[in-house]
Copies of this chain bind each other. A is one copy, B any other.
């Protein structure tokens, strides 16, 4: 296993442990034990628990901003942009559940510099999401529903999805990708 793969492996294992026990309850020693290596050899790959946390949280936050940045300039209707964003949330929920959980539960434990960076990425994402709604409403592609209420309702559901999805394996990914955008965008009534 080369050095990068080993680092990646450490971060993936840490995300799983952080999700299960919370960032504060996991020590570098626990992490080494979980991986079956000596604590000292962790430090060949990573300098601190904080570095691991920042790596997890910021990779998810950057992934979200990166995705919305590819969506915004596309010459497609607002509804298609929103559908693409919802699909991206669903894909990350399914593929990176531990990372999402860790971001949501443990970002508060980032050091000041990383916390500021995380919060600014989060703010940037919300601003871009809000702008898609604003433009969609201005073009009459979307109904005129109070924009802060709309941002809150949709993003809250998407951000909580990983908690619910992990418990409900009754719903397939395929159904989720069809029916969650219907619920969030089209609603229950005609």
Contacts and interface: CB of A to CB of B under 8 A. Distances in A.
A168 interface: yes
Interface of A: 79, 82, 133, 136, 141-143, 145-146, 148-150, 152-153, 156-157, 160-161, 164, 168, 170-171, 175-176, 179-180, 182-190
Number of copies: 2
A168 B176 CA distance: 30
Given A152-B164, A157-B153, A164-B156, A175 B146 contact: yes
Given A157-B157, A171-B148, A188-B150, A143 B180 contact: no
A139 B164 CA distance: 28
A149 B25 CA distance: 33
A129 to B, nearest CB: 12
Contacts of A82: 188
A190 to B, nearest CB: 7
